[in-house]
Chains A and B, each alone.
Chain A
Amino acid sequence: MEIKGTYRVKSGLAEMLKGGVIMDVTTAEQAKIAEAAGAVAVMALERVPADIRAQGGVARMADPKKVQEIMAAVTIPVMAKVRIGHFAEAQILQSLGVDYIDESEVLTPADPDYHINKWSYTVPFICGARNLGEACRRLAEGAAMIRTKGEPGTGNVIEAVRHMRMMNEQIRAVLAAPAEELMTMAKDLGAPYEMLLAIREHGRLPVVNFAAGGIATPADAALMMQLGCDGIFVGSGIFKSGDPAVRARAIVEATTHFEDAAKVASVSTGLGEAMSGIAIEEIPAHEMMQTRGQ
């Protein structure tokens, strides 16, 4: 007897990725570089967030051919992005056999109101969240892994820090609250009451929470890990830098040894040029990605 696609099997893969780095790749060649640098998984997409931001237009799921090439190139898990609410793209990726689907604000949303009902899939989903309410809504929709939204493609870590601190603060409040305050708290957070009960039972978010959106250096990775993230996503930060292979390896080392400042210092030395980056204030409100799909 085998039971596939249970929540334990879905969230279990995310547990295996903890303490690791997941890297955005757009080609099989980049996927091999990521794997050789110690990535625990790769995220297949058509364009990295920095290019989506620069070029504009509608950003969609990657060409299935490209996803399959990436799947064939590496032995580590392959994730791929779908537009928020685009359940047909998700059906396609599940049929290709990708290991995780990211219902992502980096792509242009397909549905103005609704996310995908993720319970109806065998493949697990990850979603972005800026705060506990968003995280709980995505979990209640069936997501098995959460990441901060940050502000993708900026090389600027401030938004990921903001989202992680907000999440931590709100979880602390849920854990500390007397039972009679929970329902009002659920109403105020916009979080299903049952999810708050699950947080109190686990003493934490019941699934893995990675940092994403603006991480560009080993120090950024060490910062997010010390803030309590379970692992790191690096999008544009690697393949938009001067020496991707070396930078990728350095971020992997910093993610494992995040409490060892001497080690993080040593891997940060002589990395070449980081991606240039954007100040958040320079981004017009309609170009912000983190406000998509709340």
Chain B
Amino acid sequence: MIVGILALQGAVREHRTSLERLGIESRIVKTMDGLRGLSGLVLPGGESTAMALLADSDFLGRLKALARSGFPMFGTCAGMILLATGVQGRSAGYIEAIDITVSRNASGRQVDSFETLLDIDEIGKDVPAVFIRAPYITGHGSTVRPMASHDGHCVMAREANILVASFHPELTEDTRVHEYFVGMVKETIP
């Protein structure tokens, strides 16, 4: 199995390293053609406004169709914003794959960025998490499972084949969050 990493811009290398540590082959994806033959896709952190401009409407449409078909996707930070159905301050989402509303830069500017340890449902305790100008999940539909919170804010959630996190597990050496996503991908392989 090969997991793709959306590489329009952002922390691509770090996700590759996390997947490598788990012995999972990955491939960078910059165009629609690059999506062929993948078993799952990671949408990394970066700047969501820049990434959304670099993905044309055909590409976003293809990602939306893939998400609906049950294809596993994992979005961190900006990747979570791209996957959300609602983004505060915008009339619509981008890929709209998970029924959550997110608030961009909700944790503040860079001087407020921080590291912490999270207890994550189904994953484990004391998972190191790096929050960088992070978005928070401000609302979600009934089929979404919130998995972790920090300071009263929902920061990780799953709905069926879509997993999202406000923070950056890929900036740490702990691979438990990636291992969980790889488990989701493996479940879809017959």
Query: A-side interface residues toward B, CB under 8 Å?
Result: 1-6, 8-9, 12-13, 15-20, 35, 37-41, 75-77, 94, 97-100, 122-124, 249, 252-253, 256-257, 260
Q: Decide: A8 near B109, CB < 8 A? Known: A19-B10, A20-B46.
A: no
B49-A77 in contact (CB<8A): no
Q: Return the contact of B50 from the options A8, A13, A15, A20 (Cβ within 8 A).
A: A20
Q: Decide yes or no: A5 and B130 within 8 Å by CB, A16-B46, A39-B50 being known contacts.
A: no
Known A8-B115, A15-B171, A122-B111; judge A256-B54 contact (CB<8 A): yes
Does B86 belong to the interface (CB within 8 Å)?
A: no
Of the candidates B8, B111, B117, the one having the most CB atoms from chain A within 10 angstroms of its own CB is B111
Q: Are A18 and B54 in contact (CB under 8 A)?
A: no
Tell whether A253 pairs with B113 under 8 Å between CB atoms, given A18-B10, A20-B47, A76-B47: no
* A97 adjacent to B11 (CB under 8 Å): no
The contact of A1 among B14, B47, B112, B117, by CB within 8 Å, is: B117
Residues of B contacting A35 in the complex (Cβ-Cβ under 8 angstroms):
49
Q: In residues 1-28 of chain B, which contact A (Cβ within 8 Å)?
A: 7-14
Q: Are A16 and B47 in contact (CB-based, < 8 A)?
A: yes
* A79 nearest CB neighbor, chain B only: B110
**CA distance in complex: A291, B12 (Å):** 34
B140, CB-defined interface residue at 8 Å: no
Residue from A6, A123, A252 in contact with B115 in the complex, judged by beta carbons closer than 8 Å = A6
Can you give 13 contacting A-B residue pairs, CB < 8 Å?
A: A5-B111, A8-B115, A16-B77, A18-B46, A37-B53, A40-B47, A77-B110, A97-B109, A99-B111, A122-B111, A256-B7, A256-B30, A256-B54
Is A4 touching B11 in the complex (CB atoms < 8 A)? no
Measured between beta carbons, the chain B residues less than 8 angstroms from A4 are 111-114
The 3 tightest CB contacts between A and B, nearest first, are A99-B110, A2-B114, A38-B53
